[in-house]
Structure 1
Amino acid sequence: MNDQHPHSHSDFTEMDWEELAPVLEREAVLATPMYEQAADWLRTLLGGAEERAAGEASVRRVWDVGSGPGVVTCLLARAFPHAEVVAVDPAPALLARARDRAARLGLADRFRTHEAELPGDDLETLGTADLIWTSKVLHHVGDQQAAVALLAGRLRPGGVLAVAEGGLPDRILPRDIGIGRPGLQARLDAAQEEWFAQMRAGLPGYRETVEDWPALLTAAGLADTAGRTFLLDLPAPLDGTARDHITARLARAADQYADLLDETDRKTLTRLTDPKDEASVAHRPDAFFLTARTVHAGCAE
């Protein structure tokens, strides 16, 4: 249930981005505490403490590759107030929302958008960057090592490539929720893994890759690789925004994994996502949201 922003060409052409944009936006806003922690960490990797002490700013260019509607792009603009930020995404509708968001937040003078899709589109026209951030994007590229190398090659000396991939699966409900069979979450995890493997194998240019992200960053010529995991813990009872997010994610899981779940679990998901059902996420006092995202980073020499 962690996959919301597909970037393979086949997935991209089938998506209704106007419809999906509010879901992506809500997800990113909900996860803002995690992204703020990640930005604080990246500032330390880029010499943030020294910059603040000296009143200088060496971070002048930041890219968000696979930006979606620009929530994190705008967060990065605030974290690096002297930088021009560039939202890079293949979906014009999402880039339009990113521009609108930047304007509402007073960031338009430092905010650009660039329509491009990894790995086929050339990023050379953008020049280079001090920080390149990409979240849940590279696993949608057939050749992940080539994608890492492509992005690493656009860094300025001392620049950082930050790849947010992996972490822990979302946790949203207890093991026994009183309807269906106990252990639904575990079966959703298994279905997601199977769906993910099939998705990866069908990508253009697919190459089997050991997802050792520090090793991939090192192989791309980056040094001082590091990783940090950031936690989002929203305990029960949830507010309406979090409940809406979980309901949307479960509805999407029911659609994506329909052939990988049995009839009992499909019926359980129907009840969980029906706001008229008292057993749904909309009414449950035991629904929570716990997740973790890992960010891997490497520095250009």
Structure 2
Amino acid sequence: MTSNHHHGHGTGHGHHHNHGDVPAADFDWDALAAHLEHEADLRAGAVTEAARWLAGLHGDGAVRRVLDVGSGPGVIAGLLADVFPAAEVVAVDQSAALLDRARTRSGGRLGVRQADLPAEFDKLGEADLVWSGNAIHHLGDQQAALTSLAGVLRPGGLLAVAERGLAARYLPRDFGLGRPGFQARLDAAHEDGFSSMRAELPDATEEIEDWPAMLERAGLTPSGTRTFLVDHPAPLARPTREYLHTQLTRLHDQLAEHLLPEDRGTLEALLAKDAPTGILNRPDAFYLSAMTVHTARKA
């Protein structure tokens, strides 16, 4: 799934982002893949815990084939392969470059399937478990997407959708720059941007995002929702700080014109690479988020 919108609520793994008008040959796929890999690595513990929960939900039924739909560079698919070692695990994405990365980083352990979704859901083949992390919201008709994914499940199979959860927090409410509550105001601007992104998608359909009800309308029986904590306390390791710097740079590019001047100044101070106030150097920076996984079973 591709979109140039990056929201901070959630997730399974980094949905990736369209390169807009940049030709594919000129786009820095390595930089994008590295960013998505770090995003997924931050959530690896939560994803592994979720995958073990899914294994328990599946019960005694053998999981022979697992699809990670909207896989990006395949970090989550690799974690799923660890939890389901007897299964064929296939990373599904529309980016050949990211799938190459998935194939390489897994040493060939993962299968890969390039598909332009939603048009090519029929190319995926049957599966006992389908995982989709922060991908469905990049498709205009989310209900139709869930119905299509339900269609690839074998009888008794599970669909697991990681969407929303809680926005990441990485600074105290008052961290000594600007007016307290900066991240909450950033979130508010971000939510408006997310709604605009959704409205501009092909076949955009307004949907009340009650995921269990949507899964039921897709012909499945809801089988539980759980939320998994992503917690990296201060002080952060350098790679996590660099990940946050990249995230804040993207938010600056997307939202700067929508922020109050004071908040724009705070954001720019956080991006200053050599300043002690910058995210790369602050001792109080942390990373806290929550990933919510909704599941449903095919009869």
The answer on whether the counterparts of 1:128 and 1:156 sit within 8 Å (CA) in structure 2 is yes
Q: Structure 1: any 5+ residue segments left out of the alignment?
A: 52-57
Q: 1:78 to 1:199 in 2, by over 3 A?
A: same
Q: 1:75 to 1:9 in 2, by over 3 A?
A: same
Question: Equivalent residue for 1:33?
Answer: 45
The answer on whether the counterparts of 2:236 and 2:286 sit within 8 Å (CA) in structure 1 is yes
The answer on whether the counterparts of 1:119 and 1:141 sit within 8 Å (CA) in structure 2 is yes
The answer on whether the counterparts of 2:15 and 2:71 sit within 8 Å (CA) in structure 1 is no
Distance 1:283 1:183 in 2: 20
Q: 1:11 to 1:230 in 2, by over 3 A?
A: farther
Q: Give the 3-state SS of the residue equivalent to 1:241 in structure 2.
A: helix
The normalised TM-score by structure 2 is 0.91
Q: CA deviation at 1:29?
A: 0.8
The answer on whether the counterparts of 2:66 and 2:88 sit within 8 Å (CA) in structure 1 is yes
State the identity %: 52
The runs of 4+ residues in structure 1 deviating greater than 2 Å are: 3-19, 123-126
Q: CA deviation at 1:273?
A: 1.6
Q: Does 1:297 align with 2:295?
A: yes
Q: CA deviation at 1:8?
A: 7.5
Q: Does 1:94 align with 2:98?
A: yes
Distance 2:206 2:22 in 1: 21
Q: CA deviation at 1:18?
A: 3.1
Question: Equivalent residue for 1:17?
Answer: 29
The normalised TM-score by structure 1 is 0.90
Q: Does 1:79 align with 2:83?
A: yes
Q: CA deviation at 1:16?
A: 4.5
Q: Give the 3-state SS of the residue equivalent to 1:257 in structure 2.
A: helix
Q: 1:32 to 1:12 in 2, by over 3 A?
A: farther
Q: Does 1:177 align with 2:183?
A: no
The answer on whether the counterparts of 1:214 and 1:298 sit within 8 Å (CA) in structure 2 is yes
Q: 1:13 to 1:265 in 2, by over 3 A?
A: farther
Q: 1:278-297 counterparts in 2 under 5 A? A: 278-297=276-295
Q: Structure 2: any 5+ residue segments left out of the alignment?
A: 1-6
* Cα deviation 1:183-239 (Å, max 9, x = unaligned): 110111101100001000000000100000000100011114310000011111111
Q: 1:122-201 counterparts in 2 under 5 A? A: 123-201=121-199
Question: Equivalent residue for 2:71?
Answer: 67
Q: Give the 3-state SS of the residue equivalent to 2:164 in structure 1.
A: strand
Aligned partner letter, 2:204:
Y
The answer on whether the counterparts of 2:159 and 2:296 sit within 8 Å (CA) in structure 1 is yes
Distance 1:168 1:76 in 2: 22
* Cα deviation 1:266-298 (Å, max 9, x = unaligned): 221121122211101111111111100100010
Q: 1:243 to 1:41 in 2, by over 3 A?
A: same
Q: Does 1:2 align with 2:8?
A: yes
* Cα deviation 1:124-156 (Å, max 9, x = unaligned): 333200000000000111000000000000000
Q: Give the 3-state SS of the residue equivalent to 1:114 in structure 2.
A: strand
Distance 1:253 1:102 in 2: 31
Distance 2:216 2:133 in 1: 18
Q: 1:23 to 1:61 in 2, by over 3 A?
A: same
Q: CA deviation at 1:13?
A: 7.6
Q: Give the 3-state SS of the residue equivalent to 2:262 in structure 1.
A: helix
* Cα deviation 1:70-122 (Å, max 9, x = unaligned): 0000111111011101110011111011001110xxxx2x521111132122x
Q: CA deviation at 1:9?
A: 10
Q: Give the 3-state SS of the residue equivalent to 2:163 in structure 1.
A: strand
Q: Does 1:220 align with 2:232?
A: no
Q: Does 1:265 align with 2:274?
A: no
How many residues are aligned here? 287
Q: CA RMSD in A?
A: 1.9
Q: Does 1:120 align with 2:124?
A: no
Aligned partner letter, 2:114:
E
